[in-house]
């Protein structure tokens, strides 16, 4: 056997993604680039702790679409990873059963620590290409999702892909929007309450993750890449322009603040923002600003400065695929 082909599915709070790749022991070839659908699986879950019926149907429709793709691109192994929303859902067994009936694989509901490890693996696997080799370790990878945000420090020493410390915060674009930013546009009081909520979670996270040690921030996820495109002034979303972009933190925070205070109708005028993100991107922008500013402060406290971040299109989904491919390849060779 010279290679294995694997599929990875990342099912988050706001979106679901599929990728298929082949691994030959030396490198990866992407057979099916990321297919992303905004399904809002976590709709209302922060309040109800249950999946809504329409959210489930949107997700099942995407799963059926992915099943069609996988019939055209057979895989040796498939992993369906479910994250924050599914961890919180009381009726997740029904969801798991239906997904298994559609795709033939049961969702793997991973803890935040595993999500952090896989996000770090995906983000750092291409960091040298993204930054032309100029990114400096330790890296702090920030994966800002709909329901949770992972902060992961690592990349030092012989095992550059390994995690030194990680924490998963229960803050994200959907959760903060539904919990606090309920007006259109949000009021200053709501923004203040959301900021305090986010900061309290960051306090807890940074007690575990020494973020001040980081020399490079790598931001992944749809919120980060969308806000990066806006900070760059792109007319439409351009994956190649965003992937690897180095953005000044001051510029990013100014863009975040402007988008946060817009109405939904005003945000809809920006083609860079996916239609499925228009109503929650403000919440994500606020989380991103608070994390960036707190990392800056933590670095300053350690005696060095961070004034920019690197945006990456490579995160949890890449980590799922790479991890599965390497394990499957090793298992086949050992058999």
Task: Check residue 6 and give its pLDDT.
Answer: 98
Parse the chain into domains and list their residue ranges.
Answer: 4-110, 126-313
- Binning the chain into helix, strand and coil, the percentages to the nearest 5 are 50, 20, 30
pLDDT of residue 258: 98
For 126-313, the fitting CATH number among 2.60.40.10, 3.30.750.24, 3.30.420.150, 3.40.367.20 is 3.30.420.150
- Closest C-alpha to 61, from 53, 71, 49, 72: 53
For the entire predicted model, the pTM comes to 0.91
Q: What is the pLDDT of residue 230?
A: 98
Can you give the pLDDT at residue 132? 65
Reading the chain (335 residues) residue by residue, the pLDDT tens digits are 689 999 999 998 889 999 999 999 988 999 999 999 999 998 988 889 999 999 999 999 999 999 999 999 999 999 999 987 788 788 999 999 999 999 999 999 998 888 888 999 998 887 767 666 668 899 999 999 999 999 999 987 555 568 899 999 999 999 999 999 999 999 999 999 999 999 999 999 999 999 999 999 999 999 999 999 999 999 999 999 999 999 999 999 999 999 999 999 999 999 999 999 999 999 999 999 999 999 999 999 999 999 999 999 999 999 999 999 999 999 887 76
26 contacts: CB under 8 Å, gap ≥ 6: none
| Rounded Cα gap, residues 51 and 26, in angstroms | 41
My answer on whether omega of the bond before 185 falls inside 30° of 0, hence cis, is yes
Superfamily classification of domain 4-110: ATPase, nucleotide binding domain (3.30.420.40)
What's the pLDDT score for residue 101? 98
d(CA 48, CA 89): 8
CA 63 to chain centre: 19
CA–CA dist 123, 313 (Å, integer): 8
Cβ–Cβ under 8 Å, residues 161 and 318: no
Task: Specify the pairing of strand 15-23 against strand 216-220.
Answer: unpaired
**Do the beta carbons of residue 18 and residue 9 sit within 8 Å?**
yes
Q: How far apart are CA 253 and CA 272, in angstroms?
A: 17
Task: Evaluate whether 4-110 and 126-313 have a shared fold.
Answer: yes
Q: If you write DSSP's letter for every residue of 140-183 in order, what string do you get?
A: EEEEE-SS-EEEEEE--SS-TTSEEEEEEES--HHHHHHHT--S
pLDDT given for residue 167 in this prediction: 95
| Contacts with 76 (C-beta within 8 Å, 6 or more apart), sequence order | 4, 5, 6, 328, 332
User: What pLDDT is attached to residue 164?
Assistant: 92
């Amino acid at each position: 056997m010279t290679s294995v082909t694997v599929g990875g599915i990342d099912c988050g709070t706001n979106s679901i993604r599929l990728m298929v790749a082949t691994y030959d022991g030396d490198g990866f070839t992407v057979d099916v680039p990321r297919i992303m659908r905004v399904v809002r699986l976590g709709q209302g879950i922060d309040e109800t702790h249950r999946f809504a019926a329409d959210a489930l149907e949107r997700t099942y429709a995407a799963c059926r679409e992915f099943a069609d793709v996988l019939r055209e691109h057979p895989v040796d192994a498939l992993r369906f990873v479910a994250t924050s929303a599914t961890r919180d859902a009381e009726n997740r067994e029904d969801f798991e059963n239906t997904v298994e009936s559609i795709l033939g694989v049961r969702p793997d509901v991973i803890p935040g620590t595993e999500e952090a490890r896989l996000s770090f693996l995906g983000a750092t696997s291409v960091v040298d290409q993204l930054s032309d080799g100029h990114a400096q370790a330790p890296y702090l990878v920030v994966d800002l999702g709909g329901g949770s945000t992972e902060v992961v420090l690592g990349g030092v020493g012989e095992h550059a892909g390994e995690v030194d410390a990680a924490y998963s915060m229960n803050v994200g674009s959907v959760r903060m929007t539904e919990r606090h930013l309920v007006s259109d546009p949000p009021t200053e009081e709501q923004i203040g309450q959301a900021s305090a909520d986010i900061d309290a979670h960051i306090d807890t996270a940074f007690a575990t993750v020494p973020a001040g040690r980081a020399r490079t921030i790598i931001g992944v996820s749809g919120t980060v890449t969308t806000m990066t495109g806006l900070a760059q002034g792109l007319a439409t979303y351009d994956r190649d322009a965003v992937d690897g972009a180095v953005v000044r933190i001051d510029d990013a925070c100014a863009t975040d603040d402007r988008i946060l205070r817009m109405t939904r109708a005003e945000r809809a005028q920006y083609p860079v923002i996916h239609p499925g993100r228009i109503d929650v991107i403000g919440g994500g922008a606020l989380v991103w600003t608070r994390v960036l500013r707190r990392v800056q402060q933590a670095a300053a406290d350690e005696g060095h400065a961070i004034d920019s971040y690197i945006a990456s299109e490579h995160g949890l989904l890449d980590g799922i695929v790479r991890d599965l491919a390497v394990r499957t390849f090793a298992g086949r060779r050992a058999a």
